Structure 1
Amino acid sequence: MLSLNIREMNIEEIDIVRKIRLNSYSDYEVFVSKEHWSVLKNTLLSENDINSNSKIYVAEDENEIVGTVVLFPGEVKAYDWSDSVQSYPEIRMLAVEPSARKKGIARALMEHSLKVAKEEGNTEIGLHTATFMTKAASLYENMGFVRVPEKDLEPMNDGVIVKAYKYEL
């Protein structure tokens, strides 16, 4: 039985969080070029999340970290590879350990991020997801996120579009 606890990450847990990110995102390696995967992998391991006043949340099941998400504040450069800056917070790097999937962990992390953003006085929140991340896109759309195509990105100029979404809090 799932006994989920979501809390802010302790800095000494960053290596665990990064490992979960890599484990979670490794499924996508087959969808992109080696160069694209290298950039994505470096993003997952980047220091950007701990150097930007963002909040990293972890989901624990029976005291084991099984998922994570980053909530970047508005007006912060959330992507190493883009100068794009949004006026609203952005959810990034949602990741669930593959062995813990299909238990509602991703949705719980998303709902927690929405709650925190609203409590901080924000009226909207955004995120980006690559076209090949279809399960993630489905989750976001089912939660009420709407597409904002004018904020889409193509970081590698290789045809892989990172689709923008926004949610009114």
Structure 2
Amino acid sequence: MADSNIGRVETVTIRRALPTEFDTVGELTARAYLAGGHIAPDNTHYLPVLRDAADRAAKAELLVAARGEEVCGTVTVARHGGEYTELARPGDLEFRMLAVAPEAAGDGIGRALVGRVLDLAGSEGWERVVLYSDSSMAVAHGLYRRMGFHRVPEDDWQPVPGVCLLAFALRIRR
């Protein structure tokens, strides 16, 4: 049987989001969280935060994964002391709001984005990469474990009743 994809290579580029992409990135993030069942459609607190990619780009580093011109994933990189850190201590780089377009799930986009965060951490001399992940995000937890992250249960956090955020960390080897 012939494979119609032979010879077709889709390259994913990880780069900073462009200002013209902020609305797209915000909607992609919200769509991914909604499709995964990680946030309710009527959530008036966090859904607007997920959609506000411009704020993330202004106060942290907003990265996207793109196939050609199509944005298919995003992650926010927050350095210790920045407004978007929740868990980071001195020496820690934190990432937040990792999101992959539902139609690109399983394509390695999340792995590529986390890999870029790890590359940044190594090149900038950070000691650890840390993150919080909602307890419902089992697929993401599996990715983090496969990439070497371990749970840090003593840092778990419940920002509002019914929302349990699990802490993960990875020591950067130099």
TM interval, shorter chain, is: 0.7 to 0.9
**Misfit runs of 4+, over 6 Å:** none
Kept in 1: contact 2:35–2:102 (CA 8 A)? no
Matched with 2:28 is: 20
In 2, the alpha carbon distance for the partners of 1:89 and 1:145 equals 13
Kept in 2: contact 1:9–1:56 (CA 8 A)? yes
Kept in 1: contact 2:64–2:74 (CA 8 A)? yes
Q: CA RMSD in A?
A: 2.0
In 2, the alpha carbon distance for the partners of 1:34 and 1:27 equals 10
In 2, the alpha carbon distance for the partners of 1:137 and 1:71 equals 18
What secondary structure sits across from 2:14 in the alignment? strand
Matched with 1:146 is: 150
Q: 1:63-78 counterparts in 2 under 5 A? A: 63-78=69-84
In 2, the alpha carbon distance for the partners of 1:61 and 1:121 equals 29
Shift, 1:12, TM fit: 2.3
Residue from 45, 48, 52 that aligns with 1:42: 48
Structure with a larger share of its residues in strand: 2
Shift, 1:97, TM fit: 0.8
Indicate whether 1:109 and 2:117 are aligned: no
Q: 1:51-62 counterparts in 2 under 5 A? A: 51-52=58-59, 54-62=60-68
In 1, the alpha carbon distance for the partners of 2:41 and 2:74 equals 25
Larger radius of gyration: 2
Shift, 1:75, TM fit: 1.8
In 2, the alpha carbon distance for the partners of 1:126 and 1:27 equals 25
- Unaligned 5+ segments in structure 1 are none
Q: Structure 1 residues 150, 58: closer, same or farther in 2, change over 3 A?
A: same
* Aligned-partner residue type, residue 110 of structure 1: V
Shift, 1:34, TM fit: 6.8
- Unaligned 5+ segments in structure 2 are 1-8
**Per-residue displacement from partner, 1:82-139 (whole Å, max 9, x unpaired)?**
6x65331211111111111111010000000110121111011100101111101111
Kept in 1: contact 2:98–2:110 (CA 8 A)? yes
Q: Structure 1 residues 63, 48: closer, same or farther in 2, change over 3 A?
A: closer
Matched with 2:161 is: 157
In 2, the alpha carbon distance for the partners of 1:32 and 1:26 equals 5
Kept in 2: contact 1:21–1:44 (CA 8 A)? yes
Shift, 1:76, TM fit: 2.2
Give percent identity, aligned residues only. Answer: 28
> What is the number of equivalent residue pairs in this alignment?
162
Shift, 1:48, TM fit: 4.5
Kept in 1: contact 2:25–2:51 (CA 8 A)? no
Shift, 1:32, TM fit: 5.8
Matched with 2:169 is: 166
